[in-house]
Amino acid sequence: MQCNDEKRRQNSWKTPELESNEFISALAAGMKAKLIVEVTSGVSPSTIALAAAARQTGGRLVCILPERVLDESTKVIKDSGLRDMVEFKTGDPFELLPSYEKIDFSFVDCKTENYSRLVNVLDVNPRRSVVVANNLVGGKKGLGGHVKGLKDKVEVRSIGKGMEVTMIGRSDDTDQKSDCSGRGGEGGGHSQGKRRGAKSKWIVKVDEESGEEHFFRMPSEIEKLKTHVHELHKILITASLSFFAVADEVEAGGSNLCGADLSTFLPPPYSNMSNMICSPVWNTFSVRYTQNKDNVLTIILSAVYTTGWVGIGFSRDGMMVGSSAIVGWFNKQGHARIKQYYLQGTKTTQVIPDKGELPLTKIPSAVALHGATMYMAFQIKPEDRLTHQPILLAFGSGYPVHNHLTHHDDKTTILFDFSAGWFISILQEQSSVSTGSNGVVELKKNHGILGIVGWGLFLPCGAIVARYFRHKDPLWFYLHISIQFVGFIFGLATVVAGTQLYNKIHAHVRTHRGIGIFVLTLSILQVMAFFLRPNHEAKTRKYWNWYHHWVGRIALFLGALNIVLGIQIGNAGNSWKISYGFLLGAVLISVFALEALLFMRKSEKLNENPAFQMNPVM
């Protein structure tokens, strides 16, 4: 019993869960598994990993799954280039498994029903085999070393969270050194030792630099042992270092996202671009760009990359539908891909490859992987110089199938200013745009409406009354102060709404905010001047008039300028531009017409009352 307890001890070896598929692939390939059987509810990255191992060993992978997912699974494996390595079987695994004898490597997805009973029908290779139980979550238990017909030769190890590896077959190089070696009777020890000595053993090696444990199987032949140790160790070390490189970049909060030397891995002309502006924008995403006098805009998007795809889209209104995007990825064979897509709708089938409205130049787009970061470089030449542009950023962990993108894992929308390098984070989910998540959309609309009504309508009308209707004294005076007071209230409400909007989205729109605060200050000074105005007979009245008139005119001009700037920054759309353009045009036409009437009225008064009158000659 003590011997059995020692042989069936359970150890815990933790590995980054992102690299578990690389681990099982290396494990199956390292032991030269010829017959690999997977019982699963559908093709997963583990299937790809085991198929790659089968190609390496010259073996085959039998994948037992439900019939309902057969077509989809076949398509995924075909796209991976491993179709010849996989034999799909559909039906009840309890009926299919007995057909396979001496399985070298078994992989059981514990999402399947009655997974614990599958061990009773697994016919594993008693000399050397591995059984992996995956997705042991929610209190599920693995095999626990209970393999049919085997007791002494079983060892169980827990791999991270949710995976258990059961190893069948131990090297007697270790067993013969212990008191519980299990030797046979007289005359049988020598021959049995030779036979067992030809087997292999499991090795746990600690990397001296990282302190990580690396777990693999070593064949008995000396030359093959050295080769396999080197290959497996290199695979696992590379996988671990890649994982921690990603973790380090994420943890650094993007502090080094703009520090890479592009000349070492990007092709010309992207490698030798000078004066590029770099701005971290979202998660690990950063945007480098430069725009020349011919409106040629060069963009390099970078993001930490593991699998799947990364994309950047250009939208007219901040929405996904109707926008065009550049998407890059590396396929399962490590080949780089970069394409333009037209986002016709919100479904994956409506994201059309090799379409789009981006005016790409003749310079080929490029994608490169440098460390744990992917870089996508491309050039566009819009008709007008690009300034404030709604940008969509997204990524997905699934590989594109026949260039058709999988659904995104996460996305966001920003308003990027290519003239200044700042951006506004608009919304993270498209559904939030339609419903006005956190009141941002509604607040932004209210801010614009209040500004247009206050500074674009009431305050100009109040000024028009004061200048062109003085002959209606004292009616003009009461109209003027009433209209200006209402306009001041609207202007104050505009600033309050803008402050609330800034607190929600932290938009770095210094010019727009600065002008708004300055116009509000001038408006307050105008209100104060009303209460401090001198009498008509006072000598200081004309100076007060000059001050009151010109401060008001400056405030109206800056208010109109800020409305235009706000519409542009907020990417409000053509309806807002047309509406305010119509209002501004109506005000200007009214001013020109009233100014002409005022000039004519003054001319008539001059003609009726000449400055010099001559007495008639008697």
H helices of 58-171, in order, are 70-79, 93-96
What is the CATH topology of the domain spanning 2-173+198-247?
Rossmann fold (3.40.50)
Distance CA 154, CA 132 (A): 13
Task: Evaluate whether the domain defined by 262-434 bears CATH number 3.40.640.10.
Answer: no
Give Cβ neighbours of residue 493 (< 8 Å, ≥ 6 apart). 450, 454
What is the CATH topology of the domain spanning 437-603?
Four Helix Bundle (Hemerythrin (Met), subunit A) (1.20.120)
Residue 36's nearest CA partner among 85, 81, 2 is 85
CA 235 centroid distance within chain = 28
Work out the pLDDT band at 191, boundaries 50, 70, 90. very low
Work out the pLDDT band at 322, boundaries 50, 70, 90. confident
H helices of 176-221, in order, are 189-197
Q: Specify the pLDDT at position 444.
A: 82
Q: Which helix (H) or strand (E) holds 202?
A: strand 201-206
Q: Which helix (H) or strand (E) holds 324?
A: strand 323-330
Q: Give DSSP secondary structure letters for 257-291.
A: TT---GGGTSPTTGGG--S-EEEEEETTEEEEEEE
Q: Are strands 105-109 and 35-39 parallel, antiparallel or unpaired?
A: parallel
Residue 338's nearest CA partner among 357, 360, 314 is 360
Distance CA 206, CA 313 (A): 45
DSSP letter, residue 450: H
Q: Specify the pLDDT at position 196.
A: 41
Mean pLDDT (the chain) is 76
Residue 394's nearest CA partner among 309, 331, 300, 279 is 309
At 147, is the secondary structure helix, strand, or coil?
Answer: strand
pLDDT at 582 over 70: yes
At 540, is the secondary structure helix, strand, or coil?
Answer: coil
Distance CA 280, CA 285 (A): 6
HSE-up (13 A, CA, CB side) for residue 559: 31
Average pLDDT over residues 491-496: 92
Q: Specify the pLDDT at position 455.
A: 92
Query: pLDDT for 512-521, tens place per residue?
Result: 888 999 999 9
At 597, is the secondary structure helix, strand, or coil?
Answer: helix
Tell me which of 55 and 16 has the higher pLDDT. Answer: 55
Q: Are strands 277-282 and 285-291 parallel, antiparallel or unpaired?
A: antiparallel
Q: Which helix (H) or strand (E) holds 541?
A: helix 541-569
Average pLDDT over residues 519-543: 87
Q: Specify the pLDDT at position 338.
A: 94
Tokens for 309, please give them.
């795809």
Q: What is the pTM of this model?
A: 0.36
Give Cβ neighbours of residue 407 (< 8 Å, ≥ 6 apart). 348, 396, 398
Query: pLDDT for 268-284, tens place per residue?
Result: 888 887 778 888 888 88
Residue 512's nearest CA partner among 386, 412, 390, 388 is 388
The count of other CB atoms within 10 Å of the CB of residue 269 is: 12
At 390, is the secondary structure helix, strand, or coil?
Answer: strand
Q: Specify the pLDDT at position 44.
A: 80
Indicate the domain borders of the chain: 2-173+198-247, 262-434, 437-603
Query: pLDDT for 608-617, tens place per residue?
Result: 666 555 555 5
Q: Which helix (H) or strand (E) holds 157?
A: strand 154-159
Query: pLDDT for 147-190, tens place per residue?
Result: 666 655 667 776 666 778 888 874 443 333 333 333 333 333 33
Spell out a b/e string for 327-344, using b for 16 or more CB atoms within 10 Å of the CB, else e.
Answer: bbbbeeeeeeebbbbbbe
pLDDT at 286 over 80: yes
Which residue type, as a one-letter code, is found at position 356?
G
**Which residue is listed with tokens 């709404």?**
497
Q: Are strands 336-343 and 351-353 parallel, antiparallel or unpaired?
A: antiparallel
Angle between helices 440-453 and 475-505 (to 10 degrees): 160
Query: pLDDT for 545-574, tens place per residue?
Result: 898 889 999 999 999 999 998 887 776 677
Q: Specify the pLDDT at position 453.
A: 93
pLDDT at 461 over 90: yes
Residue 318's nearest CA partner among 433, 158, 482, 486 is 433
Query: pLDDT for 224-281, tens place per residue?
Result: 444 544 454 444 444 444 444 444 444 444 445 677 788 888 888 888 877 788 888 8
Tokens for 491, please give them.
């202007």
